[in-house]
Structure 1
Amino acid sequence: MEAIVNEKIWEQLAVNIREMPIAEAKALGAMALFGEKYGEVVRVVQIGDYSIELCGGVHVKNTAEIGLFKIQSETGIGAGTRRIEALTGEAAYHFVTEQENKLKEAAKALKTKPLEVPQKIEQLQQELRDIRRENDSLQAKLASAASDDIFSSAEQIDGIKVIHKQVNAKDMASLRQFADNWKDKKIGGVLVLGAVSDEKVNLIAAVSKDAIEQNLHAGKIIKEVAALCGGNGGGKPDLAQAGGKNPDQLAAALNAVPSIVQKLK
């Protein structure tokens, strides 16, 4: 639409404005817009042979006077009605110049030419994706290495292995990696891990199939642990997660895991 409007500007179409009876305007094929009500005499605006409409707005005498047309926004204002807002003339020129300057600044920051900015961004995005994949792989390896130490200190609570530790994990995804390692190693029993990130507590609990059969439920366990450090959460019998608001209470909450397991069993 923007291209069409600019084409009509460049064609320098004469704008003819007349007032006439509405019947005569309709005979000319004038378009009535938006279901508006009109009187017996109407204002008819004809733009070359391209457009003829009933319109009360102020208009130029020639489309060339508009200079340049640049759409800024397009929104809905009612059922079946859209509104286009645009800049024209000097304002449009300044807008385009501003956008061009911003593109040049971006190109300078990216150390490339303005027209090559999209390709440079795509290249950097691909590099970032590669780095993230590599980082995820390294995090998984680190979690696996740390898991051996964490999983070696299981307690026996009424014949069930229980591991409850505070670990270094930047987010819930990292905690889930520990839980996945625990499951892969088939250690069994109950696993409850907690970590502090951005002054908040992340918690995860996992319960093996044989422990579930003894009435243990990861969602119930994590709910009680989270409550001890100002949080809440829940989940499935085999896996659950939660958050807390009081990092200083995390150690005490994890120390309570054996008694919680014993109570729920």
Structure 2
Amino acid sequence: PIFKVGEVVKGKVNLEQRKHLSRHHTATHILLGAARRVLGEHVWQEGAQKEVEKARLDISHYKRLTRDEIRRIEELANRVVMSNLPVHTFFEDRNAAEQRYGFRLYQGGVVPGKLLRIVEIPGWDVEACGGIHCKTTGEVGLIKILRTERIQDGVERLEFAAGEMALRDIWRLEGMVEEVAAKLEVPVSQTPKAIERLSSELRELRRKVEKLRSQLSKAEIAKLKSLAVPAGKFSLYHDLVEGADVDDLIAIASQLAEEDPRSVVLLFTVKGEKPLFVVIAGREVLNSGIDGAKLAKVIADSLEGRGGGKRDIGQGVGKSREFIPEAVNAVKKLLESQA
């Protein structure tokens, strides 16, 4: 709407939103006092932001917060909530306030003017602050630290929620735990043991997979040695290794090229319909001027795909496995040209 000068406008305060903001404002003061008592008097408020669903408090501290420190801060803050201390808000002359409370008043920054609005939780925290607040700490409700992070050197950020918003986050976490427990088909109380058992089984399966990979690599190397193709003064080893991934191909080709410095090892695997390739040249092949990048280009062109590489290794992908024989023949011709 467009208003005219002098027109009377009625505004309506969103009381529900105001309630959440008040809780987060007061919770900020409570957490700051708790952090100072847990971490030390060096703690200073470096910044803060309050929203309806959550809030954050940035504090000065020389290292990352530990899990124990976070829990102690959270526990102490909630003890203050349960103590239901009064939250006083009043105005006072700047000079008088500074003499009475010191410059800790300006935790949130220097406030302009000769008259300061003071927010005080007696015996806990005092600060010059213009925000809306609860009347007592008990009105804040549960305070839950959601996460912490190091936003810059010497500054820790605490992201938290208070009251109903904290409860909602706990419900969210409970839901996640219940979902995990359901997938593991165990009661929630047995979830940690079930996860540990699953992790142990996964480690054992990985160990077996690595053992099988090693055995397959040895078998593939033995097979390749029996399939060596003369190519001028060099040897060409090539094969299509079904079910292997690129890392497997690299491991096999590297070992064989190391054993036979006069060789080029060209291995393929297929993902979907597209062939992937790895090519590695032995030391004497490299010395002749043929390197991984040059080999990769020749192979990729034959496969109607793309590829590239460095001096000792080339990789790429082709259009169709039907072009693999052409790629092998192109590499063979390249090696024979060096004779």
| The two structures share one fold, judged by TM-score above 0.5 | yes
Structure 1 gap segments, 5+ residues each: none
Distance 1:116 1:91, change over 3 A: same
Q: In structure 1, what is the equivalent of residue 113 of structure 2?
A: 39
Equivalent position to 2:317, from 244, 248, 258? 244
Aligned-residue CA RMSD in angstroms?
Answer: 2.8
Q: In structure 2, what is the equivalent of residue 135 of structure 1?
A: 209
Q: Secondary structure at the match of 1:256?
A: helix
Provide the rounded CA distance (Å) in 1 between the counterparts of 2:135 and 2:283. Answer: 83
Q: In structure 1, what is the equivalent of residue 96 of structure 2?
A: 24
1:12 aligns with 2:84: yes
Q: In structure 2, what is the equivalent of residue 258 of structure 1?
A: 332
CA deviation digits over 1:37-60, x for unaligned, max 9?
Answer: 321111101102111110111111
Equivalent position to 2:306, from 231, 249, 253? 231
Provide the rounded CA distance (Å) in 1 between the counterparts of 2:330 and 2:280. Answer: 16
5 Å-filtered alignment, 1:66-81, equals: 66-74=140-148
Q: Secondary structure at the match of 1:179?
A: helix
Q: Secondary structure at the match of 2:106?
A: coil
Give the CA deviation at 1:168.
Answer: 1.7
2:208 partner amino acid: E
Distance 1:187 1:107, change over 3 A: same
Distance 1:35 1:164, change over 3 A: same
- Asked if structure 2 preserves the Cα contact closer than 8 Å seen for 1:166 and 1:254, the reply is no
Give the CA deviation at 1:164.
Answer: 3.0
The alignment covers a number of residue pairs equal to: 263
With the length of structure 1 as denominator, give the TM-score of the two structures: 0.84
Stretch moving more, 186-195 or 254-263: 186-195
Give the CA deviation at 1:233.
Answer: 1.7
CA deviation digits over 1:160-200, x for unaligned, max 9?
Answer: 22223333243111112321452476484222122222454
Q: In structure 1, what is the equivalent of residue 237 of structure 2?
A: 163
Q: Secondary structure at the match of 1:25?
A: helix
Q: In structure 2, what is the equivalent of residue 152 of structure 1?
A: 226
Quick one: percent identity of the two aligned structures? 26
1:99 aligns with 2:178: no
Q: Which has the higher contact order (CA 8 A, sep 6+)?
A: 2
- Asked if structure 2 preserves the Cα contact closer than 8 Å seen for 1:202 and 1:243, the reply is yes
